[in-house]
Chain A
Amino acid sequence: MLPRRVFQFLIIYFLFLCGLMALKYGLALSDYVIPAPVGIYHTLIAEYRQYSLATMNTMTVAVIGQVISVGMALVIGIAGRQSTWLGSFIKVAAFNFQAYPIVALAPILFILLGDGFLTRLLIAAMICYFPVLLSVLGIMSKPVDDIEHFYRVTGRMRWQLEVKIRTFENLTQLTTVIAGSATLAMAGTIVGEFIAANAGIGYSIRIALYQSDLGKILIALFLIGITIAVYQALLESLGVVIKRAWTGR
Chain B
Amino acid sequence: MPLICDKVAFTYPGAELPLFTDVSFELAAPGFHSFFGPSGVGKTSLARIITGDIAQFSGRVATDGLANLLYSHNKERLPGWSGVGRHLTRVIPPSMQAGIDELVEIFGLSDCIGSRFDQLSMGQQNRVNLIRYLLQDCDLLIMDESLANVDELTRERIILAVKAMFPRRYFIYISHNVVEVARFCDAILVFRGRGKTPQTVMVQGCNIRTKDDLSRAALDATLLEIMNAA
Contact = CB atoms under 8 A, between A and B. Distances in A.
B81 A247 contact: yes
Interface stretch (A10-18, A144-152, A188-196): A144-152
A246 interface: yes
A161 to B, nearest CB: 9
Interface string B108-120: 0000000010000
Contacts of B71: 153
Instruction: Assign chain B's interface to a size class.
Output: 10 to 19
Nearest to B93: A154
A147 B81 contact: no
Contacts of A147: 76-79
Contacts of B179: none
Contacts of B79: 147, 164-165, 168
Interface in B61-83: 70-73, 75-81
A164 B80 CA distance: 11
Nearest to A147: B77
B60 to A, nearest CB: 22
A146 B81 CA distance: 15
A155 to B, nearest CB: 9
Contacts of B44: none
Contact of B75 (A146, A164, A247): A146
Nearest to A153: B70
A150 B91 contact: yes
Interface residues of A, number: 14
B204 to A, nearest CB: 30
A149 B76 contact: yes
Interface string B132-143: 110010000000
Interface in B116-135: 116, 129, 132-133
Given A153-B71, A154-B70, A247-B81, A146 B76 contact: yes
A154 B81 contact: no
A150 B133 CA distance: 8
A219 to B, nearest CB: 46
A156 interface: yes
A64 to B, nearest CB: 30
A153 B69 CA distance: 8
Residue of A149, A153, A247 ringed by the most chain B CB atoms within 10 A: A153
A165 B87 CA distance: 14
Contacts of A153: 51, 53, 70-71
Nearest to B117: A147
B129 to A, nearest CB: 8
Contacts of B81: 164, 168, 246-247
B130 to A, nearest CB: 11
Contact of B91 (A156, A164, A168): A156
A23 B79 CA distance: 57
Contacts of B70: 153-154
A247 B80 contact: yes
Contacts of A168: 79-81
A26 interface: no
Contacts of B72: 150
B136 A154 contact: yes
Contacts of A154: 70, 91, 136
Interface string A214-249: 000000000000000000000000000000001110
Nearest to B75: A146
Nearest to B133: A150
A248 B91 CA distance: 21
Interface string B196-219: 000000000000000000000000
A242 to B, nearest CB: 12
B4 to A, nearest CB: 21
Q: Which 5 A-B pairs have the closest CB atoms?
A: A146-B77, A147-B77, A146-B75, A146-B76, A153-B70
11 contacts: A146-B77, A147-B76, A147-B77, A150-B76, A150-B132, A154-B91, A154-B136, A156-B91, A168-B80, A247-B80, A247-B81
Interface of B: 51, 53, 70-73, 75-81, 91, 116, 129, 132-133, 136
Interface of A: 146-147, 149-151, 153-154, 156, 164-165, 168, 246-248
Given A153-B71, A168-B79, 7 more contacts: A147-B77, A147-B78, A150-B76, A150-B132, A164-B79, A168-B81, A247-B81
